[in-house]
Amino acid sequence: MTSPALFTPFSLGQLQLKNRIIVPPMCQYSAIDGHMQPWHLMHLGSLAVSGSALVFIEATAVEPAGRISPADVGLWDDATQDAIARTLRDIRSFSDTPFAIQLAHAGRKASCAQPWFGGGQLPLDQGGWDTFGPSPVPFAPQDRPPQALDAEGLERIIAAFVQAARRSVDLGIDAIELHGAHGYLLHEFLSPLSNQRTDEYGGSLENRMRFPLAVFKAVQAEVAGKVPVGMRISASDWVEGGWDVEQSIRFTQELASLGAAFIHVSSGGLSQAQQITNEPGYQLPFAQAIKNAVDIPVIGVGLITDPQFAESVVASGQADLVGVARGMLYDARWPWHAAAELGTSIDASPQFWRSQPSRLKTLFTKNMS
């Protein structure tokens, strides 16, 4: 019997994946001074035994000022690296699931409270800090304007991404994703709504792409041949006159020419004026448009929670892989249930074999290698 498309192998560069289900990065806002905590071991550990082919570590700040909140994970010194190393060491003692990391800088959307505390920008006297962006244009009218990055600041950010990429390789991370989506720093340079510069980094599309591409090139040069490097983008700001899918295609073509191993297609997050209708697969037309224009793997996301729908995404060629994010928080065994519904088998740790329902006697692949 032919395997469902969702459960066929796939390659991201030299990284071999068992199926097409990936867990996108999801911020947990549970770190202390950038250091992973026991929560991250529990959270990532549960995803590592879910049957997913690849798990992304949440947005990981490349410098303290690049954190979304004071409780974000970071990778900017030996101590933050050691905290991630301890978490991965324990997980790898029981799981061979590959891990990717999303390296990020929040730009003007940094210095915010955790979502369950409202998510607004923190005052300087309540644990907040000054933010950075392409231009002194705040995300919300009540926010402090970010400091426009000068030449020295741009070089600092590039160096921070490079050193975080180097540390990622030292950690044995299997893939690196640069966060160019959701209104954070790299996206802020791309969008004309947030980038109002008049130098070589603003104005034309070529200029607005210049800094994100410089970050990608520097990271790629640092880790070339060691791990695949890709980028997550917001394909549209969902605001007239903002970043859109046509510009995203141009940007992705540039990334592909530089050797990007994948593109992870999301949308929105840059402007409070965005008009989005959330429904299953609402971002997939962006993924398909980009997939039709470039010859690199595309990850599609957007309220994908139904196994049959996920199967149709891969089978029809809308995307090469599907990201199941919030659905995995709700159901950390989503890939098991998808395999059962689609009539195929899936790897499972031997500790779970007894949970296999009697009506699904061939669900688990009992592989002890």
Residues belonging to the active site: 184
Helix/strand/coil percentages in the chain, nearest 5: 40, 15, 45
Backbone angles phi, psi at 28, to 5 degrees: -105, -15
Contacts for 285 with CB less than 8 Å, ≥ 6 apart: none
Smallest Cα–Cα separation from 20: which of 264, 266, 365, 335? 335
Cα separation, 195 vs 140, whole angstroms:
15
Do the beta carbons of residue 135 and residue 187 sit within 8 Å?
A: no
Which amino acid is residue 108, in one-letter code? R
Cα-Cα-Cα-Cα dihedral sign, residues 114, 120, 124, 130:
positive
Segment holding 177, helix H or strand E? strand 175-180
C-alpha R_g of the chain: 20
Smallest Cα–Cα separation from 366: which of 354, 139, 35? 354
Instruction: Encode 22-78 in three state secondary structure.
Output: EECCCCCCCCECCECCHHHHHHHHHHHCCCCCEEEEEEEECCHHHCCCCCCCECCCH
Distances from the Cα of 347 to the Cα of 197, 306, 344, 365, angstroms:
51, 20, 11, 5
Do the beta carbons of residue 236 and residue 245 sit within 8 Å?
A: yes
Cα separation, 119 vs 109, whole angstroms:
10
Structure tokens at 92: 């790898």
